[in-house]
């Protein structure tokens, strides 16, 4: 899209969480646009950071290993930047149940510190924060729009909601330029597939490629809403440049909800290997299970003209192709661990 | 109420924030009921703690000075308790804008630590958490019920929402017995009146008694909803003992909304001194101003049979009487500071 290309050409962009799944996909697009891209990543072992995610971009962007909560590092990284894509933090719901304090530190305390640094060191920077549909908890109506009640079912969601709240407050109180997205399940090349920490679809992709059994919880009829990563990248870029996004929160969604069993079958068919088995919810997953989810993304469609482009089937195929080619870079063969 | 008296007779009760306004009022009622009361308070200088709040109860309850975030102290304080009234934390919206990190530490990090301690040291304790109507932000409809969108306008509200979220999660995930209240403005004897940190009404009470001018922001037509502290105490006690309160969130409210100017005039009339003046909102207050507020408390009325009993006029008179008698215990004469 020419609008985006022009908007980012020779602009300075910091991506927090830049070696991760969405961060590195954003970086690729921005490098193509001729942006001056700087990645900041703390390489959390539970996160999506992977040096291979930026393979081929060596020398065309800068990388700093560090935490957004580290004041010295962040102050330096923010200097002179025009944009900040704020994708840093923990994403695993289950990890947050096991260690809520670590999730609090990385998703709340560090975010507050980052925003305070923006306010002090670079108050004109344009910030996009990626939140999560998990803040809605178990939907009381479908599709879920941005006015749906907020009822987080895990610590990660409580914390991501606080992080989002901070962004809105730094906009309202201190005039920072921010826009917030609430992402539904995101999938695509460069997602973490060695376990289910970035969602079960990554884990399924791997199992299918290995010819193994995809565990489908419950009766397989649960509905989920998946966005292909390139569509999410597009939404982040639009939200960063459009004045009408400022101070607002937008759902993403696909308009193509799918049941878990259908999804598993699509993956297996596209992979030409693997099988699906219905299994009982493990108790720790069942407690945070949200039921069916489908996003209403009318607000971003009408407000910013964003539309998801990738069909689920195409996205799955592209993702399988990527991991078929690069599997050695994302998991060790014979490492059977899920989480 | 006989039900309450029986429920707390000889039961062990810990009140976090017990030297504060609501905490000490709860303590008085519980001591009357024959409960074994233990207060924990960190004596935050910006908070409502005041030793005089428990005057006359000396020897009839235990007091520990300490922070809910201090693991050693809290573990010991929790041992053997039947109930925990969790009123600890910061309440000032303006302080939270000046130092969001301190508010985060005391209202989020410490709450997580406290709940983790409950889970480990006393998982059968019954917990009541007091949240705030500030989580709703600027109302989009009135009266505001519990399904109203959540859009915090200050850091304190972001943090109180996270604290509330933790309580609900510890119930859902770990089976702790919790109930959450969302308090609207609370007033009455023992509130902080030396400045406006516990709400402007305390500050006005003091100004009226000193024969000074009560500053009324804007056009004075803003609507607020005040609960007298004894009604809030009643709600806390009911929420602690009723099984149907478990895992739920309840608004409080008065059913008697009042405009700021009317309220000022009621205070002045009841005090027989003071005057009111309309003044422009200071910018830092205007940014977090929520517009009109009136609570819908149908849920707690139908669910727990709670009703506010005090009429505003009676409550104001009782509060003025208390501070007329005890002013030397709550502020220094000639200390003009607001905040």
**Three-state secondary structure call for residue B52:** helix
Per-residue pLDDT for A1 more than 80? no
- Mutation site, B113, B115, B165, interface A, largest A CB count within 10 A: B165
Q: What is the mean pLDDT of chain A?
A: 95
| A220 and A232 assigned to the same domain | no
**Three-state secondary structure call for residue B333:** coil
Alpha-carbon gap, residue B279 to A278, rounded angstroms:
66
Spell out which residues of chain A touch residue B96, defining contact as CB-CB under 8 Å: none
Tell whether B47 is covered by a domain: yes
- pLDDT of A11: 98
Alpha-carbon gap, residue B137 to B290, rounded angstroms:
6
Spell out which residues of chain B touch residue A111, defining contact as CB-CB under 8 Å: none
Tell whether B306 is covered by a domain: no
Q: How far is A55 from chain B (nearest CA, A)?
A: 38
| A72 and A150 assigned to the same domain | yes
Alpha-carbon gap, residue A36 to A59, rounded angstroms:
11
- pLDDT of A237: 98
* Inter-chain CB proximity A166 and B155 less than 8 Å: yes
* Inter-chain CB proximity A104 and B112 less than 8 Å: yes
| A173 and A272 assigned to the same domain | no
Q: How far is B126 from chain A (nearest CA, A)?
A: 21
Q: Check which CATH number belongs to the domain holding A271 and give it.
A: 3.90.25.10
- pLDDT of B332: 84
* Inter-chain CB proximity A112 and B101 less than 8 Å: yes
Alpha-carbon gap, residue B99 to A291, rounded angstroms:
39
Alpha-carbon gap, residue B23 to B35, rounded angstroms:
14
Percentage of chain A lying above the pLDDT 70 cut: 98
Q: How far is B40 from chain A (nearest CA, A)?
A: 23
Tell whether A42 is covered by a domain: yes
Among chain B residues, the shortest Cα distance to A102 is held by B109
| A206 and A271 assigned to the same domain | yes
* Inter-chain CB proximity B162 and A166 less than 8 Å: no
Whether the CB-CB separation of A81 and A58 falls below 8 Å is answered with no
| A218 and A158 assigned to the same domain | no
Per-residue pLDDT for A92 more than 60? yes
Token digits for B42?
């960190």
Q: Check which CATH number belongs to the domain holding A156 and give it.
A: 3.40.50.720
Using CB atoms, pick whichever of A100, A154, A169 lies closest to residue B112: A100
Tell whether A104 is covered by a domain: yes
Which ipTM score applies to this complex?
0.93
Its pTM surpasses 0.90: yes
Whether the CB-CB separation of A20 and A12 falls below 8 Å is answered with no
Tell whether A7 is covered by a domain: yes
CA distances from B109 to A135, A293, B57, B101 (A): 19, 30, 32, 10
Q: How far is A104 from chain B (nearest CA, A)?
A: 8
- pLDDT of A179: 98
Tell whether B80 is covered by a domain: yes
Tell whether A192 is covered by a domain: no
Q: How far is A179 from chain B (nearest CA, A)?
A: 15
Spell out which residues of chain B touch residue A109, defining contact as CB-CB under 8 Å: 101, 104, 109
Spell out which residues of chain B touch residue A112, defining contact as CB-CB under 8 Å: 100-101, 104
Q: Angle at the Cα of B322 (from B66 to B306), degrees rounded to 5?
A: 75
* Inter-chain CB proximity B104 and A108 less than 8 Å: yes
Per-residue pLDDT for A335 more than 70? no
Spell out which residues of chain B touch residue A152, defining contact as CB-CB under 8 Å: 165, 168-169
Which stretches in chain B have pLDDT values below 70?
A: 1, 334-339
Confidence of residue A336 (pLDDT cuts 50, 70, 90): low
Tally of structural domains, chain B: 1
DSSP string for A99-134? -HHHHHIIIIIHHHHHHHHHHHH-TT-EEEEEEEGG
- pLDDT of A70: 95
Using CB atoms, pick whichever of B150, B169, B287 lies closest to residue A150: B150
Task: State which residues form the domain around B87.
Answer: 2-187+228-251
| A233 and A269 assigned to the same domain | no
Q: How far is B292 from chain A (nearest CA, A)?
A: 19
Among chain B residues, the shortest Cα distance to A248 is held by B151
| A22 and A105 assigned to the same domain | yes
pLDDT tens sequence across B89-138: 999 988 999 999 999 999 999 999 999 999 999 999 999 999 999 999 99
For chains A and B, CB pairs below 8 A equal 76
Using CB atoms, pick whichever of B100, B104, B172 lies closest to residue A287: B172
Whether the CB-CB separation of A176 and A123 falls below 8 Å is answered with yes
| A262 and A212 assigned to the same domain | yes
pLDDT tens sequence across B173-197: 999 999 999 999 999 999 999 999 8
Place of tokens 């990554």: A202
Q: Find the helix or strand (DSSP H, E) in which B168 lies.
A: helix B155-174
User: Angle formed by the axes of helices B110-121 and B71-78, to 10°?
Assistant: 40
- pLDDT of B5: 96
Among chain B residues, the shortest Cα distance to A150 is held by B150
Alpha-carbon gap, residue A129 to A117, rounded angstroms:
15
Q: Which residues of A touch B (CB under 8 A)?
A: 97, 100-101, 104, 108-109, 112-113, 116, 147, 149-155, 157-159, 161-162, 165-166, 168-169, 172-173, 287-288
DSSP string for B116-157? HHHHHH-TT-EEEEEEEGGGG-S-SSSSB-TTSPP---SHHH
| A32 and A136 assigned to the same domain | yes
Whether the CB-CB separation of A168 and A178 falls below 8 Å is answered with yes
Per-residue pLDDT for A98 more than 60? yes
| A216 and A240 assigned to the same domain | no
- pLDDT of B139: 97
> To 10 degrees, the CA torsion angle through A77, A82, A83, A88?
10
Number of helical (H) and strand (E) elements in chain A, helices listed first: 13, 13
Q: How far is B34 from chain A (nearest CA, A)?
A: 37
Spell out which residues of chain B touch residue A155, defining contact as CB-CB under 8 Å: 166, 169
Token digits for A61?
């962007």
Cis upstream peptide for B143 (omega within 30°): yes
CA distances from A91 to A87, A132, B18, B113 (A): 10, 9, 37, 21
Using CB atoms, pick whichever of B108, B168, B173 lies closest to residue A108: B108
Token digits for B212?
């000074």
- pLDDT of B339: 46
Tell whether A195 is covered by a domain: no
Backbone φ/ψ region at A151: left (φ over 0), alpha (ψ -120 to 50), beta: beta
């Amino acid at each position: 899209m020419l609008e985006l290309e022009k908007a980012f050409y020779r602009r300075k962009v910091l991506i927090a969480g830049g070696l991760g799944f969405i961060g590195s996909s954003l970086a690729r697009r921005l490098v193509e646009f001729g942006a001056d891209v700087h990645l900041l990543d703390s390489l959390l072992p539970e996160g999506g950071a992977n040096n291979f995610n930026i393979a081929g971009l060596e020398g065309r962007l800068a990388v700093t290993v560090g935490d957004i909560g580290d004041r010295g590092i962040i102050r330096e990284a923010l200097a002179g930047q025009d944009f900040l894509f704020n994708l840093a933090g923990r994403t695993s719901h289950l990890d947050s149940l096991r260690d809520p304090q670590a999730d609090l530190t990385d998703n709340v305390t560090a975010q507050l510190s980052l925003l305070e640094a923006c306010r002090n060191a670079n108050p004109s920077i344009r910030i996009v924060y990626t939140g999560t549909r998990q803040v809605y908890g178990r939907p009381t109506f479908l599709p879920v729009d941005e006015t749906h009640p907020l009822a987080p079912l895990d610590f990660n969601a409580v914390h991501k909601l606080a992080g989002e709240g901070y962004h809105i407050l730094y906009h309202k109180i201190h005039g920072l330029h921010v826009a917030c997205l609430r992402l539904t399940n995101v999938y695509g090349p460069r997602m973490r597939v060695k376990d289910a920490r970035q969602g079960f679809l990554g884990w399924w992709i791997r199992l299918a490629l290995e010819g193994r059994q995809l565990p489908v919880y419950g009766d397989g009829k649960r509905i989920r809403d998946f966005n292909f990563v390139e569509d999410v990248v597009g939404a982040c870029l639009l939200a960063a440049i459009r004045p009408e996004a400022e101070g607002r929160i937008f759902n993403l969604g696909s308009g193509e909800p799918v049941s878990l069993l259908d999804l598993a079958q699509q993956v297996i068919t596209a992979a030409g290997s693997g099988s699906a088995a219905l299994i009982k919810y493990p108790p720790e997953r069942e407690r945070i299970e949200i039921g069916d989810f489908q996003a209403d993304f009318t607000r971003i469609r009408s407000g910013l003209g964003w539309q998801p482009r990738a069909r689920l089937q195409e996205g799955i195929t592209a993702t399988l192709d990527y991991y078929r080619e690069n599997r050695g870079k994302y998991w060790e063969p014979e490492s059977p661990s899920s989480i």
